[in-house]
Structure 1
Amino acid sequence: MTRTKIIASLGPSVFEKKDILRAAKAGMDIARTNMSHSSHSWHSKVIERTRKAGEELGRKIPVLMDIQGPCVRTGEIPINGGFIRIKKGDSVVFTIKNNGSKSKIFVNYPEFIELVDKNSLIFLSDGAVQLRVVEKTNRDVICESLYDAKIKSRSTLSVSEKSFNLPALTEKDWKDIEFGVKKGVEYFGISFVKTGKEIVEIRNFLTQQGSKAKIIAKIETPEAIQNLENIIKVSDAVMIARGDLGVTLPLEHTPFHQYNIIKKCKDFRKFVVVATQMLHSMKNKPIPTRAEVNDVFTAVVTGSDAIMLSDETAEGKYPIETIQYARKIIKTAEKIPYKLSIHTRSSALSEAQKAFYLKEPAQKAQISEGL
């Protein structure tokens, strides 16, 4: 056993009970199911299989249901099986009208044109596609591709240092939370949190439903950084969602935000998770890069209570090997006699972990203090 936990995402690569068993034996402590993809029927199956796998192992495997949140996406691309390849310097046109076409990509945000400016940077799929605005009309935004890339249907879209005016949760999100309550999930990951009030609203809903599930606030917006302390106070845990955080704010600022968020969570004795691209190259390769090994190691020695694996396990070629490597790196980091930490991992860590795993959700006093 290690102090630092591994959250592994389930998906096509880890879906059958035998695969979930292998993942748990390899070191998965918490199973994540991502509500951005698939139906309730699919998620119901994978949760049931996780429960059965836990029974076979003689221990409970908690489930984290990651709620999609309000999300701006591109529409369907009606050619080439749902994607297009672009070269550096190519023109890419986005539209808010008529669901797009073969030459224009639809964006499901009516105020998109008003939001962007000339030279605004647009990111698709957590920055895998990067474009710069060169012109806009009353219905289209014309961009230039900064690199060779592949644009897929329904890609997530972000605009650097801009925020979308969207509700905290969509109708789908509330239905997904209700579904998660019925399935008895232990944790809800809440995406694109902006204020502590949003967490309190969800907490009240869970209480009304008779659920004691804990709430993990995902920090991935400029507003969340501004309201960080209030969000931490009213949440049971915090996840540093580096994907969106690294495109809504300058990428080079991400390490500082990670360091600062971990420190704040230690100050408030709250469980903290580092997520996104921890061992990303293992989606296609059996061995991580040196930089990825260093990333996981650094997360551990600076005080993270858990790391999360995403595509690496959900749809990667080497999901079990990824978990095994994560476990080896964590064990090595935890053997280091000194800590590079901003705070000690001793009393603050043990209290945070006890609260996360054993105690009730954040108390009312903490909630009122955070508003």
Structure 2
Amino acid sequence: MAAQVVAASGTAAAAAARPLGGGSGADGLRPSPRLQLGACASRERWSGGAVAARGRRESQVVSVISRAPRTEPEVLPVSPDDDAAVKEEANFQHLKAIQQLATAANGVWSKPNVRRKTKIVCTIGPSTNTREMIWKLAETGMNVARLNMSHGDHASHQKVIDLVKEYNASHTDNVIAIMLDTKGPEVRSGDLPQPIFLESGQEFTFTIKRGVGTDTCVSVNYDDFVNDVEVGDMLLVDGGMMSFLVKSKTEDSVKCEVFDGGELKSRRHLNVRGKSATLPSITDKDWDDIKFGVDNQVDYYAVSFVKDAQVVHELKDYLRSRNADIHVTVKIESADSIPNLHSIISASDGAMVARGDLGAELPIEEVPLLQEEIIRMCRSMGKAVIVATNMLESMIVHPTPTRAEVSDIAIAVREGADAVMLSGETAHGKFPLKAVKVMHTVALRTEATIPGGETPADLGQVFKNHMSEMFAYHATMMSNTLRTSIVVFTRTGFMAILLSHYRPSGTIFAFTDQ
């Protein structure tokens, strides 16, 4: 019996669908070899979801039934070549599908026809701190403007905040959030008259004396530096761009041998592999920057080098005392934070996988595994998670990314990251707009391949105890199962935000009278 169907919107579909499912009884027709279903459309017109190959029905169908002469089924001989032919045909279709990606409507450089879910965080710096560039970044795909408080002063950051707020006032349908990223307890080298080139095997000294900067010695801004390092430690510059092996130390100096040479510049970031500096997570400078953020009503804080949950509680207590509605995002970038990962994320509003310093303090092969684990943990708790550092590093100087960088973005999206971040690419890179465009198109294309219909993450036992969480959880289940969007009416926006924590596959449309 040959059976072909076509999608339709008529009410006769229910009756027509029962014979296809093999129903019996008074309310159905039993299939017969003497019935033949007439062809009404080709397979290409099944995009509306008429009937899947295995009999699954996704929309209504109409069948045309006509009698056909009785024919005996043809018996074909079975041979070992049959299985090989089937596999060969399957491989051919797979390769054909890959070849057609170049001309697909949602190809890499085509205009997207859906809204991207993965957000893009752009660091604003000398390359992008003008009105024109901020407007263009927002139009290209930027969702969050990041202010790196390790560089610049309050006056320069105030200018950026004012420009972003000016854009938001005139583009209410595409509001850009503002993230203030604290400097944290960074250990940095001092100033040098000019960059110096060091070769492997040379001797070099770091001292806690201020104002030292020669070809053989440079000062460090951390008074306990000598106490924190031990003979045999590996000292990394800028996350491993250069490395020094600690050979000996005195009361105020650490003598090293250059292990991996390179060019040493002023104010370089220093790490000791496997160790964290014994500094408070929030320094006096950070508190000044946090107060600056409260005064300017920023949306997010990214807190650097968080080691335990107490730091998060301390900051949130301060924000409550100032009546400031600012989300706290913890940056996971130190070895000390890993044992306390669960409590840190639980206390915060979200986390950032800061892979640069994380890869400097831990073995680099652990970073991809930690990234996946942090994303999984954040999703299970309903927390936002950002993947950062070296996403498109080559585009600081080159107009196109490496293929590995493109794969890095795609992997982060597929693992479930809520946002991906650009640092030097947009802060001081030569091609900031192209970098955002690449990140936008790669994320959008990857999202189109992620299957929907999965069960939403079980956010612990919370939804069992609160009615609103229960509604959000089951609404997400229905949306994923039916592959539909969710419409929510809200006064405060709480329910829309709660729904987003469960990450439904469909779009959330929030309506409010406020």
**TM-score, normalised by the number of residues in structure 1:** 0.90
Counterpart amino acid of residue 99 in structure 1: G
Counterpart amino acid of residue 310 in structure 2: K
Alignment partners' CA distance in 2, 1:356 and 1:242: 33
Question: How do residues 27-42 of structure 1 correspond to structure 2 at under 5 angstroms?
Answer: 27-42=141-156
Query: C-alpha displacement at 1:30, in angstroms?
Result: 0.5
Partner residue of 1:72 out of 172, 187, 191:
187
1:210 corresponds in structure 2 to: 323
2:231 corresponds in structure 1 to: 118
Alignment partners' CA distance in 2, 1:346 and 1:49: 38
Q: Is the 8 A contact 2:140 2:436 kept in 1?
A: yes
1:174 corresponds in structure 2 to: 287
Q: Is the 8 A contact 1:189 1:218 kept in 2?
A: yes
Residues 347 and 113 (structure 1), Cα distance of their counterparts in 2 relative to 1, 3 Å cut: closer
In the TM superposition, what whole-angstrom CA distance separates every residue of 1:178-201 from its partner, at most 9, and x where no partner exists?
A: 110111100000000011111011
1:336 corresponds in structure 2 to: 449
Q: Is the 8 A contact 2:210 2:220 kept in 1?
A: no
The answer to whether 1:315 aligns with 2:423 is no
Number of equivalenced pairs: 353
The answer to whether 1:286 aligns with 2:399 is yes
Q: Is the 8 A contact 1:135 1:142 kept in 2?
A: yes
2:133 corresponds in structure 1 to: 19
**Equivalent residue of 2:260, what SS?**
coil
Deviation larger for 121-130 or 7-16:
121-130
Residues 334 and 183 (structure 1), Cα distance of their counterparts in 2 relative to 1, 3 Å cut: same
Q: What is the root-mean-square deviation of aligned Cα atoms in Å? A: 2.3
Identity %, equivalent residues: 37
Question: How do residues 130-145 of structure 1 correspond to structure 2 at under 5 angstroms?
Answer: 130-145=243-258
Q: Is the 8 A contact 1:303 1:345 kept in 2?
A: no
Counterpart amino acid of residue 24 in structure 1: A
> Unmatched 5+ residue regions in structure 2?
1-114, 460-471, 477-492, 502-514
1:367 corresponds in structure 2 to: none
Question: How do residues 56-135 of structure 1 correspond to structure 2 at under 5 angstroms?
Answer: 56-58=170-172, 59-77=174-192, 79-80=193-194, 83-102=195-214, 103-135=216-248
Q: Is the 8 A contact 2:380 2:457 kept in 1?
A: no
Alignment partners' CA distance in 2, 1:356 and 1:74: 48
2:116 corresponds in structure 1 to: 2
1:275 corresponds in structure 2 to: 388
**Equivalent residue of 1:127, what SS?**
coil
Q: Is the 8 A contact 2:210 2:221 kept in 1?
A: no
Query: C-alpha displacement at 1:168, in angstroms?
Result: 2.2
Q: Is the 8 A contact 1:237 1:356 kept in 2?
A: no
Deviation larger for 89-98 or 223-232:
89-98
1:264 corresponds in structure 2 to: 377
Query: C-alpha displacement at 1:88, in angstroms?
Result: 2.5
Q: Is the 8 A contact 2:188 2:221 kept in 1?
A: yes
**Equivalent residue of 1:146, what SS?**
strand
CA radius of gyration, larger in:
2
Alignment partners' CA distance in 1, 2:403 and 2:241: 21
Alignment partners' CA distance in 2, 1:257 and 1:220: 11
**Equivalent residue of 1:164, what SS?**
coil
Query: C-alpha displacement at 1:104, in angstroms?
Result: 1.1
Q: Which structure is richer in relative contact order (CA contacts within 8 A, separation 6 or more)?
A: 1
Q: Is the 8 A contact 1:122 1:160 kept in 2?
A: yes
> Would you identify which runs of 4 or more consecutive aligned residues in structure 1 move more than 6 Å?
348-352, 354-357
Counterpart amino acid of residue 135 in structure 2: L
Q: Is the 8 A contact 1:236 1:356 kept in 2?
A: no
Q: Is the 8 A contact 1:74 1:108 kept in 2?
A: yes
Query: C-alpha displacement at 1:348, in angstroms?
Result: 6.8
Q: Is the 8 A contact 2:281 2:306 kept in 1?
A: yes
1:369 corresponds in structure 2 to: none
Alignment partners' CA distance in 2, 1:273 and 1:87: 37
**Equivalent residue of 1:19, what SS?**
helix
Q: Is the 8 A contact 1:124 1:155 kept in 2?
A: yes
Counterpart amino acid of residue 12 in structure 1: P
Alignment partners' CA distance in 1, 2:412 and 2:142: 17
